[in-house]
Structures are given as C-alpha cells and as structure tokens.
Amino acid sequence: MPNKILIVNWNRIEEGLGGQEFFFSVLSKVLNARRISYTDAEKVFGYNFFSNALNILYRGYIIDSYLEWHEKLFFPDLIIRNSAIGGFKKFKTPQIIVFQDPYLSITLKMLEEGIFLTKPEHYLACIELMRRTAKYGKCVAVSNFMKKDMKLCGIKCDKVIEEGIDTEKFKPVEDKEEIKRSHNLPLDKKIAVCVTKFTPTKGWHILSDLIKNFQDIHWIVVLTNKIESKPKLKNVTLIEEANPEIMPRIYNCADFYISTSPVESFGLSAIESASCDLPIIIYKTGFAWDWWDKRLGLRVDEWTSEAFGHAIKNLFIEDRVYEPRKAIIERGFTSERMAKDWKGFIENLLKK
C-alpha cells in the first residue's frame, strides 16, 4: 500500500456527524490515510464564506487550492475525495472519486412525488461538481444503486465497492430487557428504531404517520443533528446529535429497525441494525435496490404510509423467522471485505 494517501471530505467526523463523515473516517483507518477537510483549507487561506446554497462551489475551490499546494510540498501518492468536492483543478497525483450522494435520484423522486425541495440549487450544483470531479480520477460507487445514479448523470462508474461494518462492534446483546430497563424503555411494547432527519427526502412525513398510527409501538428516533425540540407523543424517545459510538447500544434497545427514506446510496444504518440481529423494514433503495434476503425482514416497494404500515403489521407474524445478522455477513457487508476490496483496487490502480 502507498504511504501517503489523502482522504478529502467537507468535514471530519469530529466536525459533523453523518453518513459521509462516518464512511470516510472508517476508510481513513483502513488505509492509514490523512483526512483533509474544509477547515484545513480555511486555516491556511483565511477564507470564511457565509453559508448559502452555493457555498459548496467556493468551498470546493478552496479545498482544491489547498490540495494544489499540498501536492507541490508533500508529493502524496493518492487522493481519495468525495465526489461533490472541487473539480476545478487538475492534479498530477492519481485520484479516486467516491460517489455516495445520489443527488439526481433524490431530485427526481421529489419532483415525481410533488414535494418541494427547499434548496434545489444545492442539489444541481452538487451534480455539476460530480461531473467535473469524475473527469480527473477513477470513479467508485458504494452500491449498484449509486452506479445507476451516476449513469443518469452521464458519469461512468469504474468500480463498485460496497460499504461494510464492524460486525464485532455491531452485534446483539444477550439480555435485551436489561438494556431496555437501563434506558427506561417499556418492556410491554415492541420498540422500533429509526435513524433519520426531519426532511421529506428521508420520508419524515411517512414516519410521523406511522408513529401516530402505531402508538402501541415505542419509537426511538435518532438524529445526527440538533433540533432542540421535544416529542409531543409519549411513545417517542428522541435522540439528537447521536454519537456513532453509542449506536450499537441504541440498536440493541429495539425490536426492529425501520427506514422510510426513498433514496439511499447504500443504507449503512440498516446494515448496522441487521448486524445487531434486528429485523429491518426498508424501501427498495441503496443496497436493497437490486438485492434482498428474506432473512433480513421486509422490503417495501411502494413509498407510502400504507405500504410501511402493512409491513409493520406483517413483520412479526408467527411463522416468520429472521436471521438478519447471518444474512449480511454471508453477503459480505463487513469491514474486512470492504478493506480487502479497497486495498486491492488501490494497488491495481497504482501499478498501472
């Protein structure tokens, strides 16, 4: 493996909690790579653009300028970057562009459903940046669904490397009742867990319907951001700014996992919960777009409250037997497989 790898994203996981941040944090550990964020570039150049929908253009240019100087001074072996960052400068250093934001698929889904996007210019700007960065390196998608999104954008995918999780970190506990008691959760109700945002792009309107319609279920709603709000219903536990380190414990408080998101590049939280042996209910997107194992739980093919409600009612029918942990391990959604695939791809790329 090369010694000097740079991994470039908007934020480190210490600066912002989210799927991108978590993915690149894991990848940096796998490859023993240095992480670069906008904060690094800002400290060097002294820029600080006010927040607006198009600041990603300026921020991407600043990151590119920072990388240009870094290349001249330190001669890195490889740059791995988020697909929507930069694309304004050409580098001598080989690059891998990681695609894990299906901006076009999200936009099309919202238009199809008649749902208004508050910042459509942000999505369009990201799509343009993805097209620019794709010209300067090898393009890796995190799923076949993301590969399809790239094709819709006119971008060729060179490799699909699916995500993987640490199955020793995300594993079931022996006494679920004890962990429920420790968090003052009910023992006489089924408990659902969902990792989401209060936005239509995550299907919040569907999830809120389910919470109201299934008050015999206690709902753990996990957010990566802070909203400073309290749930009105007593059957909801709200967790804001959830630290990734506590997620195995949160999953193990629940009896099943549900995601109402209509578009996902992969669906990491669903895999994490499955690794904790929770049956899952998810929409046909991300890893579940072109693959499904009935041992996981139930896949929903229609993006409606009624379809998800029907799945909840049918999840625990007596003759259904689920083995979600076994299914995802057999499928290879593990950190070991992910590390092997990435290292092999990089070694072959640099040989050429």
CA distance 142 to 248: 22
Instruction: Report d(CA 28, CA 14) in Å as an integer.
Output: 13
Distances from the Cα of 284 to the Cαs of 119, 123, 266, in angstroms? Answer: 25, 22, 11
Cβ-Cβ contacts under 8 Å for 186 (sequence gap 6 or more): 180, 218
Identify the structural domains of the chain with CATH numbers, from first to last. Answer: 5-164+334-351 (3.40.50.2000), 176-331 (3.40.50.2000)
Residue 49 has what pLDDT? 62
Token digits of residue 345 = 């791809």
* Distance (Å) of CA 161 to CA 144, 157, 266: 9, 11, 11
Q: What is the pLDDT of residue 54?
A: 61
The amino acid present at 290, given as its one-letter code, is D
**Model pTM score:** 0.94
Question: How many alpha carbons fall within 13 Å on the CB side of residue 158?
Answer: 16
CB 143 within 8 A of CB 268: no
pLDDT of residue 53: 53
Q: What is the mean pLDDT of each run of 10 residues along the chain (352 residues)?
A: 87 76 90 92 76 75 94 96 94 97 96 90 92 97 98 98 96 93 94 94 96 97 81 89 88 97 97 98 98 98 98 90 97 97 95 80
Nearest to 64 by CA among 90, 86, 84, 91: 86
pLDDT for position 14:
77
